[in-house]
C-alpha cells in the first residue's frame, strides 16, 4: 500500500467560514486525509476560542471520516511533519493572498523539504468572505449565519 497522502490545512480560523469549508470539501477529494490545523498564537487574542472553534469544525465535518481538526503551536512545517502530512492546503482568493502565500510556501519548503503547498482557487461566490469581516459584523450584533457552516 502506498503511504497515505495527508494534507494539513493550517490557519487561524477565527472563525472558520464557508470559504474555508469549501477548500476542505474540495481538498478531501484530492487527498486521503485533510487535517484542519488551528494555529495557536499566544501573542494574538482570539475572537472565538480554540475550544469552541474545534467543536464547530468537528460538527461541520461529522459526516466525513477523512477530515479532522487539530490545534498546534509553533511552526506549521514542523507540525505537518509530526502528523505525517506532506502537503499543505491553502486557499487563494486574490493577488494579495498570492503575494503572501508565495513567500510562506517557499519558507515552509525550506523548513521541511518534503512539504509541498497545494493551492485551490476560491469559489467566486465565496471569495469575498474573510474571517476579519465576519468578526466585525458579529461584534456589532448582526447575523453572520450566511458566512458560516454552523451557528455562532
Ligand atoms: P491565516 O491566518 O493563516 O491567513 P486564515 O484562517 O485567515 O488563516 O485562512 C486560512 C486559509 O484559508 C488561507 O489559505 C486563506 O487564503 C484561506 N481562505 C480564507 N478565506 C477564504 C475564502 N473565503 N475562500 C477560500 N479560502 C479562504
Query: CA 48 to CA 13: how far, in whole Å?
Result: 9
37 Cβ inside 6 Å of ligand 1:
no
Cell 486574490 found at? 94
Sequence ranges of the domains in the chain = 6-139
27 Cβ inside 6 Å of ligand 1:
no
Q: Whose CA is nearest to atom 5 of ligand 1?
A: 11
Nearest atom (ligand 1) to Cα of 127: 23
Tell me which residue of 81, 82, 143, 72 sits closest to 108, measured CA to CA.
81
Q: Whose CA is nearest to atom 18 of ligand 1?
A: 91
Nearest atom (ligand 1) to Cα of 132: 7
Task: Please list the active-site residues.
Answer: 20, 44, 93, 131
pLDDT tens, N- to C-terminus, the chain (152 residues): 788 999 999 999 999 999 999 999 999 999 999 999 999 988 889 999 999 999 999 999 999 999 999 999 999 999 999 999 999 999 999 999 999 999 999 999 999 999 999 999 999 999 999 999 999 999 999 999 999 999 99
Classified as helix, coil or strand, 56 is: helix
Give, for ligand 1, the residue of 23, 47, 100 to mutate: max count of ligand atoms closer than 8 Å to Cβ: 23
pLDDT on residue 46? 96
Q: Is the domain defined by 6-139 classed in CATH 2.120.10.30?
A: no
CA-CA-CA-CA torsion sign (102, 66, 25, 57) = negative
Amino acid at each position: 500500500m502506498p503511504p497515505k497522502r495527508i494534507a494539513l490545512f493550517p490557519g487561524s480560523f477565527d472563525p472558520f467560514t464557508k470559504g474555508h469549508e469549501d477548500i476542505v470539501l474540495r481538498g478531501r477529494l484530492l487527498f486521503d486525509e485533510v487535517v484542519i490545523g488551528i494555529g495557536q498564537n499566544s501573542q494574538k487574542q482570539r475572537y472565538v476560542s480554540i475550544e469552541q472553534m474545534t467543536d464547530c469544525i468537528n460538527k461541520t465535518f461529522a459526516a466525513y471520516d477523512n477530515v479532522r481538526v487539530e490545534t498546534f503551536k509553533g511552526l506549521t512545517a514542523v507540525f505537518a511533519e509530526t502528523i505525517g502530512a506532506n502537503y499543505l492546503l491553502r486557499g487563494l482568493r486574490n493577488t494579495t493572498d498570492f503575494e503572501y502565500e508565495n513567500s510562506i510556501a517557499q519558507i515552509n519548503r525550506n523548513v521541511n523539504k518534503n512539504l509541498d503547498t497545494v493551492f485551490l482557487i476560491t469559489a467566486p461566490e465565496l471569495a469575498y468572505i474573510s474571517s476579519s469581516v465576519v468578526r466585525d459584523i458579529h461584534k456589532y450584533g448582526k447575523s453572520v449565519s450566511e458566512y458560516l457552516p454552523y451557528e455562532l
